Structures are given as C-alpha cells and as structure tokens.
Structure 1
Amino acid sequence: MRRILVTGGAGFIGSHLCERLVRDGHDVVCLDNYFTGAKSNVEHLLGYPNFEIMRFDVREPIKIEVDQIYNLACPASPVHYQTQPVRTVETSVMGAVNLLRLARETGAIVLQASTSEVYGDAQVQPQDETYYGHVNPIGIRACYDEGKRCAETICFDYHRQYGVRVKVVRIFNTYGPRLAPGDGRVVSNFILQALRNKPITVYGDGSQTRSLCYVDDLVGGLVAMMESPDEVTGPINLGNPGEYTVLELAEKIIAMTGSKSQIEYRELPQDDPQKRRPDITRAAEVLKWRPHIELDIGLARTIGYFRRQFQLELDVA
C-alpha cells in the first residue's frame, strides 16, 4: 500500500484515477479546489477507509506525507481556461513548482499530467514525443498550451538539478462517464445535443481530426507510467491512435442515439488544431501499454451515462 496524492482528483480523469487506486488498495488523498471538478464525482468513494478528500488549491504550498503524486490539477476545457486564463497558467506553473518542492522534501515521485496541446496546431502527423510543436504563445489557448509546456520544463529542471523523481505523460483527447456537460468538449457536446434533438454544432467544415481514448484505458496508462522504473521519465504520449474527423464523430453519435438532430456549421475558433493523433510507439515499448476499448463501446457507455445523469433535465427539455 502506498500513500498517494491525486491533485485535481475530483475532476473527470482524476476521479476515475482515484477509483482505480482505491480499488488497488492504496491510501488515496484526493485534492481539488472544485473550480472544474465536482465532489459528486468521488462521493461514492467517501465510505472507503483508504480514501480522503481535501479542498485545496495547488497554487498554494502544501505539506503532506505521500509516496506518489499524480498532478492532474488544471482546467482542461477551452470553456474554462479561456474564461480564467491567468488562473489557468498559474495552476499549471505554480502548481507544478509547489508539488515538485513537496516531492523534493518527501522523496515522492511526481507524475505530471501534460497534454497533447503542447504540440499546438501540429504540422506533423502523427505526433511523437520528439516533435517540439507549433504553438501560438500569445493566442487565446496559450494559457493552457504554454502553461503545460512550462510545467514540463520545471519537472525536468527539478529532476536534473535536485534529483526529484519525475514522470511526464502527454494526454490526448479522453472521454467517458463524468465528462462535465458544459465544458465544451466535443464528445459531451455532441451527446447532449443529440439526446436533446438540438443542432449538432460542428466548427469549420468538420474535417479536423481527433483521436479519442476511453478513460479506463487512459487511467491504465497513468498507473503503468507511475509504476515504471525511475529512469523512465518521459515525456510519453497516452492516447488512442484511431483518428476520426469531427464530422464523422457527429454522425456516429446521431446514429447511436437515434437523434433527430441536424448538423449546424459554425466558424472555426482561433488556433483550433486541425490534426490530433498520437504516436504511442514509446508507450507500447516502454510501458507495454496500448488502449483496448473500441470507440463504439466507449461511446455507448458514455451515452448511457448521460442518459442516466440528465434524464430529468432531458424529460423537461
């Protein structure tokens, strides 16, 4: 049994990670300030003796004895990080510094949840970990993109200068139950619009591509990375290399929900990436990890979740 801190633990990915770690028998401390997370995501864990939750903001220093730290604290949706850009970049950078200082004091391992957004509007396809990216440093997405890039820099500087054990993963688009309904992500947007028979909003002509990894697969990758030898520092891509256009995804969700929705095209947002597909060769070779859950299965589970969670709202609508 290890004592494990999960920051952003009441968020979408964080709550699933907490669930996995509690099930594996670890002593889990979930830390979240509820800016985008929700206590309801982890309330089913509150009765477990090896789970506790703290309301805390990683922009502040923290003192706690732990063996491992999963740092997932940061708004990941454009809806949230473009509304609070300063808070977002502070969470990425100051949060990483505070947790690396904690790791230096306690000897803990830090797993930094970075993002495929460090590649920006990628000019190569697929993206592997050697690609430096194509990011607009002053655009409306930069608070997230550059914040995560800087967090990676700090992790490796603490590793080189102070010997802190670090692991960096770059997470590609992930979906599944507990996606927040209003955070603007493509899967949750399309599912809720389809269930309500509302227009499906596709930005641009829908030819931009996304690779979608089901959350259970992603959590398996996070755990595999944390449990890898110390010399495995990353960065390592975690995602599903299957690639779909946004239009294909919209049409698939309409069909799976039996919706009467029509597709409505809107102007493409600034700096919206046109291609997003991970090269997971390194994850497969080093971690022996690759995703297994097919898109249709994952979407069916996610659609079922939204049907159950929002049935009263949908009935009224």
Structure 2
Amino acid sequence: MTDHPKYLVTGGAGFIGSHLVDALLARGEPVVALDDLSTGRLQNLAGARTHGHFQFVHGSVLDGPLVDKLVGECDRVVHLAAAVGVKLIIEQPLRSFTINTKGTETVMEAAYRHGRPVILASTSEIYGKNSSGPLNEMSDRILGSPSVPRWSYSTAKAVDEILAELYRREYGLRSTIVRFFNTVGPRQSPAYGMVIPRFARQAVRGEPLTVHGTGRQSRCFLHVSDVVAALVSLIDRPEAEGETFNIGSDEEISILDLAARTVTCAKSASPVERVSYNEAYGPGFEDMDRRVPDTTKLRALTGWQPRRNLDDILADAVADAVADTAADARGEMPQQEPGAASRRTAEGHTGDTDGRATAASACPV
C-alpha cells in the first residue's frame, strides 16, 4: 500500500508517456498506464512492469466503460493518448481525428464524473501556420483550408483544449493544458515522420538524409527528460489548474543545419538531399517557416529550465539508431511496426499490479 496519489497515464506505453510513467514510479507514485499499442510499445515499459505499484491495461481511450473504471480507480489523470506525427496524420486523417477528439471527450467526461484533476497534452500544431515568434500561449492560430489534412490535427487538438476549458468553466473540472514543441529522445520511433530519429537512422546507415522542402524552415527540439520534468513540476502545483503552458526549447535551428549536425554527430559520410513536400506527403501539403515557443509562463510558475541541449539530443538519437540498426542486423524488431497492435487486438492484454500479463477483451482501436 502507498499514501501517494495514484495516476492514470493514457498513452502510457508511448514515447513521452513511458518516460512519465518511469518518473512517477521513481517518486513512489502508483501508476496505471492505458495504451492500445497502436503506436506505443510494451518495450517502453520494460522497467515499469517490474515495479510493484504499476499496472498496464491494453485498451483504448474510445472505450468509455473502461476509461470510466480506470479514472474512478485513480486519483489523477494525465491524458497523453493521441494519434501523432505528420506522416500518420496525413496517411490516416479520419482515424487520427476520431482518436484525438472522441478519446479526449471520453477522458474528460470520466474525470468530471469522478472529480479527478486532468493534465491534457496538446501541441504546438495549435498555432498552425503562425511563423512569428516566440509564440506565447495566447498567440493567434493561423490555419489553412479544412480540406488540407495537415490542419485536421491542429483542429482536433484545439477541440481537445476547448473541451477541457468548457468542462472547467461549466462543471468545475480541474484541468491543465500543456502544449509540446518537438519532443525528442530515447524510445522515439522514426516510423511516424519524426525528423531527428529519421535523420539519425539515415546517418548511421549511410543513407542520404532527406530534408523536406527548402530546409530553411526552423524548429526547436526539447529532450523528453526535460518535458517530463516540466510535467512533474506542473503536477505538483495546484495553481497550474485552469492554465495552459508551452513546453519546449528556445534553441532554434534550420532543418538543413540540423541534418548537417546529425551527420557530424554520427561521424557519417551520408549526403543531404532535398525532397519536395509533394514528393514526401503528396500534393497540397502546407508547413510553417518557423516555430519557436515562449516558455516564460512555465518558467515563472515552476522555475523549470531545460537541462539538455541539442547536442545531447542528437547524441541520444544516434545511439538509439546504432542500437536499432544492430538489432535489425540480428533479425530483431526493436521498433513496433505501425498498426501491428491494432491487428492483434483480439489478443489484447492487461497487466495486474506486479506487471504480469492477463487476458483482456479486444480494444476497439
């Protein structure tokens, strides 16, 4: 038994979710991780599943009765489950939109019903094509046509934020919104279009690094350990409730320069090649020239500061790419194949509190 609050982390087997699970367990907090394993991986929870205060549940945030049960059994909710990554959003826009809106509505309704506080994960995509900066939490959203699939993700996450705010205003739900700006680090898959894992894998394998568009577009990248530190700092502050916070780095770099630094970090001879957006994503793709966060609000409330810089991020990405390439050569599969879990849903599993697998019903996503 423990006197610590019990957390439900949706998307707990995912990239950020699994790191948060580890951090909460390290603090002595009991944790339940809910994940349908469509993009998350059980390997991400290898350490957590040996912990006595951890439970894994294989299921979907679209499963209302399951979400209601788990929220009722926990004290706090961190809602990270979402369809993410430009590649996935472009290829499966309807499925992504449904997961990101209906899933959040299901979680918010359960949290309201049981009186549980929620941290909702949102995204810098909220700002759309707004390339001014740095962007603060009140900066304008500038979006293209609704017919462009890229903006369906931004719109879905805006709906999520609106749901959280309206549940707070009308029903008193204690909610906090966090907007992630390009999180990178160990356990991140290159399968869904994330640029640094993709560059690192290409560099390690001696393949050309494919830069989309002109390469002059700039971004900022934050190590996942710093993201988790920010989340934990907000979890501990009741005054964060009802507020929205950007979580990101202000270390800005163009994608062309990022490719060059990745090649240097990997000690690779890979060339850098430009690929048009049409070739990479199909006709009509739209992007923004610049995306830089203003994190003044987060820093002022919590004193948070990033501890890892871009060199640290690239070193981790290259190390992961080396390990994955070696595993591939041995015939192993360290990265989960996209959609593999959804094809296995009839073999779904949950875990009891000591991490052992037990049979469960099929998850709907």
Normalising TM by the smaller chain, what interval? over 0.9
Q: For 1:29 and 1:256, locate their aligned partners in 2 and report how far apart those are by CA, in whole Å.
A: 37
Report the equivalent of 2:315. 300
Give the aligned residue type for 1:279: D
Q: Which of the numbers 212, 217, 227 marks the counterpart of 2:226?
A: 217
Is 2:20 the partner of 1:12? no
Q: CA deviation at 1:3?
A: 0.7
Q: For 1:104 and 1:132, locate their aligned partners in 2 and report how far apart those are by CA, in whole Å.
A: 29
Q: Which of the numbers 36, 41, 55 marks the counterpart of 1:38?
A: 41
Give the aligned residue type for 1:184: G
Q: Which of the numbers 298, 314, 328 marks the counterpart of 1:283?
A: 298
Q: For 2:257 and 2:139, locate their aligned partners in 1 and report how far apart those are by CA, in whole Å.
A: 27
TM-score of the aligned structures, taking structure 1 as reference length: 0.96
Report the equivalent of 2:340. none
Q: Which of the numbers 98, 109, 116 marks the counterpart of 2:124?
A: 116
Q: CA deviation at 1:231?
A: 5.3
Q: Which of the numbers 145, 160, 180 marks the counterpart of 2:154?
A: 145
Report the equivalent of 2:61. 58
The 8 Å contact of residues 183 and 248 in structure 2, kept in 1 or not, is answered as yes
Between the aligned residues of both structures, percent identity stands at 33
Q: SS at 1:154's partner residue? A: helix
1:104-147 Cα distance to aligned partner (Å, 9 max, x none): 12221110000000001114211111112112233111231111
Report the equivalent of 1:185. 194
Q: Which of the numbers 88, 92, 95 marks the counterpart of 1:87?
A: 95
CA 1:74 to 1:170, structure 2 compared with 1: closer, same or farther past 3 Å? same
CA 1:138 to 1:84, structure 2 compared with 1: closer, same or farther past 3 Å? same
Q: For 1:203 and 1:281, locate their aligned partners in 2 and report how far apart those are by CA, in whole Å.
A: 31
Q: CA deviation at 1:251?
A: 0.2
Give the aligned residue type for 1:286: L
1:172-206 Cα distance to aligned partner (Å, 9 max, x none): 00100101131211101100000010011001121
Report the equivalent of 2:357. none
Q: CA deviation at 1:12?
A: 0.6
Q: SS at 1:182's partner residue? A: helix
Give the aligned residue type for 1:36: T
Unaligned runs of 5+ in 2: 332-365
The 8 Å contact of residues 195 and 314 in structure 1, kept in 2 or not, is answered as no
The 8 Å contact of residues 177 and 306 in structure 1, kept in 2 or not, is answered as no
Q: For 1:22 and 1:313, locate their aligned partners in 2 and report how far apart those are by CA, in whole Å.
A: 31
Report the equivalent of 2:75. 67
The 8 Å contact of residues 67 and 106 in structure 1, kept in 2 or not, is answered as no
The 8 Å contact of residues 72 and 113 in structure 1, kept in 2 or not, is answered as yes
Structure number with the bigger relative contact order (C-alpha 8 A, sep ≥ 6) is 2
Q: CA deviation at 1:229?
A: 1.7
Unaligned runs of 5+ in 1: none
Aligned residues: 316
Q: SS at 1:259's partner residue? A: coil
Q: For 1:138 and 1:44, locate their aligned partners in 2 and report how far apart those are by CA, in whole Å.
A: 43
Over aligned residue pairs, what C-alpha RMSD do you find?
Answer: 1.5
The 8 Å contact of residues 119 and 132 in structure 1, kept in 2 or not, is answered as yes
Q: CA deviation at 1:60?
A: 2.0
Report the equivalent of 1:271. 286
Is 2:162 the partner of 1:159? no
Give the aligned residue type for 2:108: L
Report the equivalent of 2:134. 126
Q: CA deviation at 1:312?
A: 3.4
Report the equivalent of 1:249. 258
Q: For 2:37 and 2:241, locate their aligned partners in 1 and report how far apart those are by CA, in whole Å.
A: 32
TM-score of the aligned structures, taking structure 2 as reference length: 0.84
Give the aligned residue type for 2:50: G
Q: Which of the numbers 301, 304, 324 marks the counterpart of 1:309?
A: 324
Q: CA deviation at 1:314?
A: 5.4
Q: For 2:117 and 2:321, locate their aligned partners in 1 and report how far apart those are by CA, in whole Å.
A: 35
Report the equivalent of 2:360. none
